Amino acid sequence: MYIPEHEVRALLTYEALIPAIRQAMIDYSAGLVEQPARMILRAGNGEGSTNGWFGVMPAIHGDVMGVKTVTFYPGNAELGLHTHMAVIELLRRSTGEPLAVMDGRLITEMRTAAVSAVALDALAPQSAASLGILGSGVQARSHIEALRLVRPGLKDIRIWSRTSANAERLAAETGARAVAIEVAAAADVVLTVTASPVPVLRGRWLSGTAVVLAVGASTATMRELDDEAMQSSFVVAESRSCAERESGDVRQSGVKVEAEIGDILSGSLAAPAGRRIVFKSVGMAIEDLTAARLVWQARQTPAQ
């Protein structure tokens, strides 16, 4: 059975996905998830930004197993194509039976935003009222939707993009405002969802109690945050091993991950109050598996 993207869109909601991701993060940090390191191969189709990569991401959790194959081709943006594309295979753990194959592009988009929403809810004070976004693409849009669900008090949304017209368009469509990068970076919560290979967020722009959701740089050769931003912050990640292996922001700044979000959610560790926090996500197979299970379950439930 193949489930195309339009069906995934009809079946998967943030209202179901965010709490499911929250539990998956707790289970991951508790050792209840089998998830080997992501395998990444260079496509070798070109040079520079045209050279894509191909990743394979398996996981086992609860009653299901799954594997996502994902591609990232930065040069696709110039061709009018998605830069990320993916397919997920879902299997029954007890018998190994294939349950479904489904398009994974939208799942990747939504589970990424759901992870950030879970982290925001755990790490940011209830008084946080402003959200600065660096980037204006697909992930910026999906994050606005997901973050508003857990923190409707984020009324002041500021968007910066290298292409000002893109920031203005997204701001007009979402009730936000397009601003200079320093203004976006001065918000209570700062989200970075760029494709920049070099730092765009400077630590000197951040408030001393900012919560930074660092999403865009998902490989060891890419960075969004400078050394000051990383080294002056309490660093939290989905997975300590994944971030220290795959994140350029972590590896190149020399910082250590001080906590996993699952440990904070379970109450076994506490995030510091009154201090700057960086939550670094690189994306994990358990997140894709969690979303794919929800899609499968929703498809099995007859419409009321």
What are the residues whose beta carbons fall under 8 Å from the beta carbon of 144, sequence distance 6 or more? 131, 133, 157, 174, 176
Q: Which 8-state DSSP code applies to residue 260?
A: E
Span 135-154, average pLDDT: 96
**Residue pLDDT, tens place only, 83-120:** 889 999 999 999 999 999 999 999 999 999 999 999 99
**Residue pLDDT, tens place only, 167-225:** 999 999 999 999 999 999 999 999 999 988 899 999 999 999 999 999 998 788 889 99
Q: Which 8-state DSSP code applies to residue 74?
A: G
pLDDT band at 302 (very low <50, low <70, confident <90, very high): low
Q: What is the pLDDT of residue 180?
A: 98
Which class does domain 125-283 fall in? alpha beta
Q: What is the pLDDT of residue 79?
A: 86
Q: State yes or no: pLDDT of 304 exceeds 70.
A: no
Q: What is the pLDDT of residue 222?
A: 86
Q: State yes or no: pLDDT of 131 exceeds 80.
A: yes
Span 152-173, average pLDDT: 96
Which of the four CATH numbers 3.50.50.60, 3.40.50.1820, 3.30.70.141, 3.30.1780.10 does domain 2-107+286-300 have? 3.30.1780.10
Q: What whole-number distance in Å separates Cα of residue 181 and Cα of residue 175?
A: 18
pLDDT band at 49 (very low <50, low <70, confident <90, very high): low
Contact 59/286 with Cβ under 8 angstroms?
yes
**Residue pLDDT, tens place only, 6-34:** 999 999 999 999 999 999 999 999 999 99
Beta strand 64-72 pairing with 53-61: antiparallel
| pTM score | 0.94
Span 42-66, average pLDDT: 89
Span 270-285, average pLDDT: 95
**Residue pLDDT, tens place only, 56-85:** 999 999 999 999 999 988 888 888 888 889
Q: What is the pLDDT of residue 76?
A: 85
Q: State yes or no: pLDDT of 303 exceeds 60.
A: no
Q: Give the domain ranges of the chain.
A: 2-107+286-300, 125-283
Lowest average pLDDT, out of 46-60, 154-168, 264-278, goes to 46-60
Q: What is the pLDDT of residue 217?
A: 84
* The dihedral sign for the CA sequence 193, 194, 197, 198: negative
Taking CA atoms, 9 is separated from 6, 42, 129, 222, in Å, by 5, 30, 29, 30
Render 180-214 in DSSP notation, one character per residue: -HHHHHTSSEEEE----SS--B-GGGS-TT-EEEE
- Half-sphere exposure (Cβ direction) of 130: Cα atoms closer than 13 Å: 15
% residues pLDDT > 70 (the chain):
99
